[in-house]
């Protein structure tokens, strides 16, 4: 580029002729310059930002894969490798390109900023991301997980309290930009014309009249569009099988979420790694990214418990009540307003959002304010796997796992009783087994009789011989009374001629049938 600039500069400085040919050359150069400039400006991709809050390292990666991949894209070699993601410490970052329906044109580049913990110290990391230029192109996403639905309202509240403190500390220019964003979102689909559930409602004209907001709608607008993603909805069946959840409880969770999100004009969606969901369409429409070739409008779904989709500007109190009778939507909405208007969460015990399945969720030990929606939710939606532990320690508060320690001597005394009982059971089992073995041996002896064999023409009973050998061995090892008496009288005891006995039994075993002669002759 430097060499080209130098040649152009040299040509213009040394050229003196102003004939027709030179003018044509200048026109051609201007034409090519304008074309190159237009191409270069066309290559500048629209920059979109997504602030992803909550979840673990793995769940954030799953969210990125769900956003940046689809069945057609996976077949392309150039898209097999996703950009690297850095989300192990503090504020993470990654990006991906949004392709059009033909998988050729790049519509926009989305930068994702990832944060797993709502600690107040991380507020300083979020604030620089929100500028008057980036606010119109930013979407906030809160990740929840079906492995711990009893903690959702608390997690959502902690994230919104953190965001609220950040947004209130922004400059007046940023607040003005946020007011414009929320004003445009609030009016989408409320002009009386056709309503597009992807956030692209009909444009208002002079003759259109905006519909009024319903109760509980947009009463606590954040200043940025919000989308709540409940991941791993396949665990709904697990909750039903292991903890006995019924349809009433799944509907109750959904009613609480919809009531809270209605105050912020937010959207809601359930996702699963093995299930196709309109997550891409919802997120991209919230960022203002639309396909140039194919428009796929979003459809709401509040019936299928694992495929819930609630687009922005669609829900209302009436629709929430229809889901399940007996739900006090007014009290929950007012209680949520109390929860999110608390003082700064600094110094409070924050929720742990990156716990995995089977781990324990740490809750806030500070008493909840009166009428809190979080308190009502946690009273009705509980982790039933903790019931046995709570009954053992006599504590009705299932949000705590504090187990009082047992006195050492009492514990040892209890264990001693168990050991003695186990010893008695073992002895009883051994005794029963020995009786069974003796009975079995007697039965076998009765059926097969004594074992005999012919040795040198003599019929020998094997059992009798074995018993005699045992008796002889025992007799040989024990001191004989006669020998002791002889030694006491001073006379030596007679020695047994073992060699002669050995020869005798040897000849007896080697003797052939019918042979004559004395037995003891060698």
d(CA 210, CA 208): 7
**Average of per-residue pLDDT across 292-310:** 84
pLDDT bucket at 411, cuts 50 / 70 / 90:
confident
The per-residue pLDDT for range 51-65, each reduced to its tens digit, is 999 998 889 999 998
What is the model's pLDDT at position 180?
93
d(CA 188, CA 195): 8
- Tell me the C-alpha to C-alpha distance, in Å, between residue 116 and each of 113, 119, 320, 354: 10, 9, 30, 6
Domain locations in the chain as residue ranges: 47-393
Sheet strands side by side (includes 106-115): 92-99, 106-115, 47-53, 138-145, 226-231, 267-270, 309-310
Mean pLDDT of the chain: 75
The three-point CA angle 180-261-296 to 5° equals 75
The DSSP secondary structure of 340-368, one letter per residue, reads HTS---TTS--------TTPPPP---SPP
What is the model's pLDDT at position 195?
40
Closest CA to 111 of 134, 143, 144: 134
- Tell me the C-alpha to C-alpha distance, in Å, between residue 411 and each of 394, 421, 424: 18, 16, 20
* Highest averaged pLDDT of the listed ranges 215-219, 291-295, 504-508: 215-219
**Average of per-residue pLDDT across 69-78:** 45
Q: Which residue has the tokens 């769900």?
A: 66
Both tokens assigned to 505: 């039994």
Q: What is the dihedral of CA 195, 201, 207, 208, to 10 degrees?
A: 60
Give the CA count within 13 Å in the CB-facing half-sphere of 494.
Answer: 3
What is the model's pLDDT at position 414?
85
Burial of 323 (0-12, 13-18, 19+ CB in 10 A): middle
The residue among 294 and 377 whose pLDDT is bigger is 377
The per-residue pLDDT for range 232-283, each reduced to its tens digit, is 999 999 999 888 899 999 999 999 999 999 999 999 999 998 888 889 889 9
The residue among 109 and 68 whose pLDDT is bigger is 109
pTM: 0.64
* Percent of residues in the chain assigned helix, strand, coil, to nearest 5: 50, 10, 40
The per-residue pLDDT for range 4-52, each reduced to its tens digit, is 433 333 333 333 444 555 555 666 667 777 776 665 555 577 889 999 9
């Amino acid at each position: 580029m430097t060499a080209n600039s130098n040649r152009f500069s040299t040509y213009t400085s040394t050229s003196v002729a102003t004939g027709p040919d030179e003018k044509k050359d200048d026109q051609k150069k201007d034409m090519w310059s304008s074309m190159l400039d237009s191409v270069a400006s066309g290559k500048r991709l629209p920059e979109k930002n997504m602030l992803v809050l909550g979840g673990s390292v793995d769940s954030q990666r799953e969210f990125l894969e769900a956003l940046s991949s689809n069945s057609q894209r996976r077949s392309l070699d150039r898209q097999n490798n996703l950009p690297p993601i850095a989300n192990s410490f503090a504020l993470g970052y990654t990006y991906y390109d949004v392709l059009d329906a033909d998988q050729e044109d790049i519509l926009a580049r989305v930068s994702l900023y990832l944060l797993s913990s709502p600690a107040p110290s991380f507020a300083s990391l979020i604030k620089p991301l929100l500028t008057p230029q980036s606010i119109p192109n930013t979407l906030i996403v809160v990740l929840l997980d079906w492995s711990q639905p009893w903690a959702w309202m608390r997690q959502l509240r902690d994230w919104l309290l953190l965001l609220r403190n950040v947004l209130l500390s922004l400059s007046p220019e940023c607040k003005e930009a946020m007011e414009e964003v929320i004003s445009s979102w609030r009016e989408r689909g409320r002009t009386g014309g056709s309503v597009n559930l992807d956030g692209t409602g009909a444009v208002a004209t002079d003759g259109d009249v905006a519909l009024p907001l319903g109760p509980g709608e947009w009463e606590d607008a954040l200043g940025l569009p919000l989308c709540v993603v409940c991941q791993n909805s396949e665990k709904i069946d697990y909750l039903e099988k292991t903890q006995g959840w019924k349809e009433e409880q799944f509907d109750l969770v959904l009613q609480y979420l919809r009531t809270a999100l209605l105050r912020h004009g937010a959207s809601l969606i359930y996702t699963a790694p093995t299930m196709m969901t309109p997550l891409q369409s919802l997120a991209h429409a919230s960022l203002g990214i639309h396909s140039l070739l194919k428009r796929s409008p979003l459809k709401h779904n509040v019936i299928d418990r694992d495929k819930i989709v609630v687009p922005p500007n669609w829900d209302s109190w009436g629709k929430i009540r229809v889901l399940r009778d007996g739900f006090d939507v007014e009290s929950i909405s007012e209680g949520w307003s109390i929860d999110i208007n608390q003082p700064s969460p600094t110094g409070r015990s924050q929720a742990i959002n990156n716990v995995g399945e089977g781990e324990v969720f740490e809750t806030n030990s500070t008493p909840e304010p009166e009428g809190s929606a979080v308190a009502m939710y946690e009273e009705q939606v509980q982790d039933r796997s903790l019931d046995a532990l709570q009954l053992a320690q006599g504590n009705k508060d299932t949000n705590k796992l504090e187990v009082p320690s047992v006195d050492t001597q009492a514990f040892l005394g209890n264990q001693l009783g168990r050991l003695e009982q186990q010893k008695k059971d073992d002895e009883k089992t051994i005794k029963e087994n020995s009786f069974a073995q003796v009975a079995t041996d007697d039965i076998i002896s009765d059926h097969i009789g004594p074992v005999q064999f012919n040795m040198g023409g003599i019929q020998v009973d094997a059992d009798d011989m074995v018993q005699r050998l045992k008796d002889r061995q025992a007799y040989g090892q024990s001191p004989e009374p006669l020998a002791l008496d002889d030694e006491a009288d001073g006379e030596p005891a007679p020695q047994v001629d073992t060699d002669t006995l050995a020869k005798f039994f040897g000849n007896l075993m080697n003797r052939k049938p019918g042979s004559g002669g004395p037995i003891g002759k060698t």
